[in-house]
Copies of this chain bind each other. A is one copy, B any other.
Amino acid sequence: MPVDLRRFIRDVPDFPKKGIVFKDITPLLGDRAALREALALLSRHFEGRGISKVVGIESRGYIFAPAIALSLGAGFVPVRKPGKLPYKTASEEYALEYGTDRLEIHVDALQAGEKVLIVDDLLATGGTASAARRLVEKLGGQVVGSGFLVELKFLDGRSRLAGIEVVSLIEY
């Protein structure tokens, strides 16, 4: 019987600030059956697509991307906040509620033509996933899909990922 993943998401009111109800995924991560189910569902969806790299966005994307890479027989590529990657990087800016931030990728993280899956815990406005996509494309990679544990539908992040498949396991 499939695991009801939604049951393992905890609402935490007023985090990170007053008025926000935070979707806490840690009860899901801590449950062996729910963790296994979530990783299996995301992996299975992208099997047989020739994906050779799975990109995880710092830091919660790292929780899912390497295990999915292992399952797909792909390598794992970290996308990080500025100044964290030690080697030469490419960089992309994205909008925050107030101001902007940047994400970086190592310039040799993938070869031109490689098929890439982008993974994160949460699809909200799509700003970070979209920046990660531009980073992959800058290196000549082809983003074939993106996978998320949770999607906040009302923020319509999908519209910023036009042309690539978007899979999420739990929608709000």
A residues adjacent to B (C-beta < 8 A): 10, 12, 15-16, 22, 24, 26, 29-32, 35-36, 39, 52-53, 56, 58-60, 62-64, 66-67, 69-70, 73-78, 83, 85-87, 106, 109-110
Taken together as a complex, chains A and B put the C-alpha atoms of A83 and B16 apart, in Å, by 8
Q: How far is the CB of A152 from chain B (nearest CB, A)?
A: 15
Tell me whether B63 and A26 are in contact (CB under 8 A). Answer: no
Chain B residue at minimum C-beta to C-beta distance from A22: B86
- Residues from chain B with Cβ under 8 Å of A75 in the complex: 29-32, 35
Query: Contact check: which of B16, B24, B62, B83 meets A63 at CB < 8 Å?
Result: B62
13 A-B pairs (CB sep. < 8 Å): A24-B87, A26-B77, A29-B76, A29-B77, A30-B53, A30-B75, A30-B109, A32-B73, A35-B75, A58-B59, A59-B62, A63-B66, A63-B78
Q: Which of A31, A53, A87 has the most CB of B within 10 A?
A: A87
